[in-house]
Chain A
Amino acid sequence: MKMTDLLTEDCIVMELQGENRDAVMEELIDCLDRAGVLSDRETFKNDLYAREKHGSTGIGFGIAIPHGKSAGVKEPRVAFGRKPDGVDWDSMDGEPANLIFMIAVPEEQAGDEHLKILQALSRKLIDDSFRQALMEAKTGQEILDRIGEM
């Protein structure tokens, strides 16, 4: 399994429309739903919000990673959206989030390959130049290329 198995071009939103966190959440959940990875949209959504409640997933540096390990998810998948103006995510550093990775992980999943990939992505996000490249990418394919380099 590669990162590009988890993030596909149909789950990349070059410019998110939503102006607040909830709207952006909906957009990305829709992506995942359209990709057919959700068995129960509401359950997944509830699990996402439960995680946000525990502490915002806006980790700063303009990144938010809403994620849910949920019974409403059939297979692991990532949706990615960009918001050049940023959207308030109640981040640690008070800065708006520009890069939003929504991570869907099934409650029960054989093997942990997908977790290893998400781990690699998380570690990579700490890298300034990687974030910069994601911001500057012109096409979905370019983003996939950058992420595929991991």
Chain B
Amino acid sequence: MKLLAVTSCPNGIAHTYMAAEKLAKTAEEMGAEIKVETQGSIGAENELTAEEIQAAEGIILAVDKSIDRSRFEGKRVVECPIAEAIRQPEQLIQRFTEGNVPVYRSERQEESAETADPEKETGEGKKSRAQNPIYRSLMNGVSYMIPFVVVGGLLIALSLGLGGEPTAEGLVVPEDSFWAPILQVGESAFLFMVPILAGFIAVSIADRPGLAPGMIGGYIAAEGSFYGSEAGAGFIGGIIAGFLAGYIAKGIKSIPVPQVIQPIMPILVIPLAASILIAVSFIYILGSPIASLMEGLTAFLNGMQGSSKILLALVLGAMISFDMGGPVNKVAFLFGAAMIGEGQTFIMGALAAAICTPPLGMGLASLLAKHKYQKEEEEVGKAALAMGLVGITEGAIPFAAGDPLRVIPSIMIGSMTASAIAMTAGVTDNVPHGGPIVAVFQAIGNVPMFFAAIAAGTVVTALMVNLLKKPV
């Protein structure tokens, strides 16, 4: 992380330099790079250049007298009294690592930004999105989640690809095989995915006290057994849990308490109270709708048998990508798996194509238009391609969680395309698993059309999402 700072105090004799020293030392301890301009009675020293300002991720202005701010237009700027930089430099720097810093705009610019329709100012897309606190929280959660998705996805992909065997229960890695523990490690990483996402969404809202309630909420969201549901609420549930936990923790934080209790607020009172509240709301308020949603969707799919195959394919495709591993996805997948038992392997055939297009499509999209993705998203894109080949839909979750309104519709359309083509062409799959890997295991009937369906879905996903996405 590259930060810049300006310190200045009324006399410019002592505080200016103490703050500069403290910021520099603390940044070093925290592994951040910082350059501090001092505006003391000697004049400005160690001045920041325009290039440095351009390259910096954030600016700290620890100033007790007014300084020229115009050169920081459009940068993330934290302003504080100089005493705060001497006393609590960690917290200042942490605000940047948490992405919890607004973009500085002079009043003149603020006015013009407010009058302009945010959707229309495409050139300003980055600024308006970066300013949106919801987007910022999502990206914070996603950036912490990404390594878990990548580690989990790649290990699962590797162990299934090299050690998996097609069975009626799907691709299974035999227990005594070398690949079984590797699969387990990958699955463990996946287990953390939603809790980490929720946890760090909450942290971006409520700082550190949000972490425990966020992660616990995320875990409950992802673990359906808490509320008698076969599937958890998936990453969408995790996002909801993260925001809920964050705002609950922030709310509790803002309640005035006596001084004696204050020290235990962030470590005991806030996490405990917020965790209980989030757990209760998930188990008793949000949980049962999820269970009944699954029942309803299952009944709906069963009712669709015999109606138009294309329609069924479109519905299944949309369901598979909507929440990628969440309840809606699970219902579609379990329906397809159940139908294999009844000899209707064409349903799983359509699903198998739809399952892999979200990660493949997002991977392709991030390769095609690098400027529309964060650097870490580009890396995830490559991992997503590998996950897609092995039918791990979750590979697209980092993209979807970071920008749900643009990504989820795109991957749904892509999966619908793939699923419809596969269904029409009569692609069959007698193993409940998706992605090109099932063709390798010779479970697919009509392999050429299976790949054609996947290719079409992948391209449609990539083109649509890149059309919707704005440059980062």
Interface residues of A (CB under 8 A from B): 51, 54-55, 57, 59-60, 65, 67-69, 92-93, 101, 103, 105, 112, 115-116, 118-123, 125-126
Instruction: Tell yes or no: B370 within 8 A of A by CB.
Output: no
Is B14 in the interface zone, CB < 8 Å from A? yes
Chain A residues with CB below 8 A from B86, complex form: 59-60, 92, 126
* Shortest beta-carbon distance from A43 to chain B in Å: 15
Which residues of chain B from 1 to 60 have any CB-CB distance to chain A below 8 Å in the complex? Answer: 10-11, 13-18, 20-22, 25, 38, 40-42
Residues of B within 8 A of A (CB): 10-11, 13-18, 20-22, 25, 38, 40-42, 64, 81, 83, 86-87
Q: Would you give the shortest CB distance from A124 to chain B, in whole angstroms?
A: 8
How many angstroms from the CA of A115 to the CA of B42 in the assembled complex? 7
Q: Which residues of A contact B14 (CB under 8 A)?
A: 57, 65, 67, 101, 103, 118, 121-122
Structural contact, A67 and B87, CB atoms closer than 8 A: no
Give the residues in chain A near B42, CB-CB below 8 Å. 112, 115-116, 119
Nearest CB of A to B50, in Å: 25
Q: What residues of chain A lie closer than 8 Å to B20, measured between beta carbons?
A: 123
Q: How many A-B residue pairs have CB under 8 A?
A: 72
Decide: B15 and A118 in contact? CB cutoff 8 A.
Answer: no
B21-A55 in contact (CB<8A): no
What is the CB-to-nearest-CB distance from B20 to chain A, in angstroms, rounded to a whole number?
A: 7
CA distance A43 to B356 in the complex (A): 79
18 interchain pairs, CB-CB under 8 A: A55-B81, A67-B11, A67-B13, A69-B11, A69-B13, A69-B41, A103-B14, A105-B11, A105-B13, A115-B13, A116-B42, A118-B17, A119-B17, A119-B38, A121-B14, A122-B14, A126-B18, A126-B21
Bound-state Cα–Cα, A32 to B97, Å: 46
Q: Is the CB of B13 within 8 A of A126?
A: no
Q: B10 touching A54 by the CB < 8 A rule?
A: yes
Do the beta carbons of B10 and A123 come within 8 Å of each other? no
Which residue of B14, B20, B64 has the most chain A CB atoms within 10 A of its CB atom?
B14
Residues A51 and B87 in contact, CB atoms below 8 Å apart: no
Task: For B13, give its contact among A59, A118, A125 (CB under 8 Å).
Answer: A118
* Cβ–Cβ contact B25 & A103, under 8 A: no
Is the pair B83, A92 in contact by a Cβ cutoff of 8 Å?
yes
Contacts of A92 in B (CB 8 A): 83, 86-87
Q: Smallest CB–CB gap between A31 and chain B, Å? A: 18
* Contact residues in B for A59 (Cβ distance below 8 Å): 15, 18, 83, 86-87
Report chain A residues within 8 Å CB of B64: 54-55
Count chain B CB atoms within 10 A of each CB in A65, A116, A123 and give the residue with the most: A123
Query: Residues of A contacting B15 with CB < 8 Å?
Result: 57, 59, 65, 122
Are B11 and A123 interface neighbours, CB within 8 A? no
B8, chain A: closest CB distance, angstroms: 13
Residue of B nearest to A101 (CB): B14
CA distance A122 to B20 in the complex (A): 10
Residues of B contacting A118 in the complex (Cβ-Cβ under 8 angstroms): 13-14, 17
Chain A minimum-CB-distance residue to B41: A115
A101 to B14, CA, bound (A): 10
Q: Which B-chain residue is minimally distant from A58 (CB atoms)? A: B83
Cα–Cα, bound, A58→B176 (Å):
67
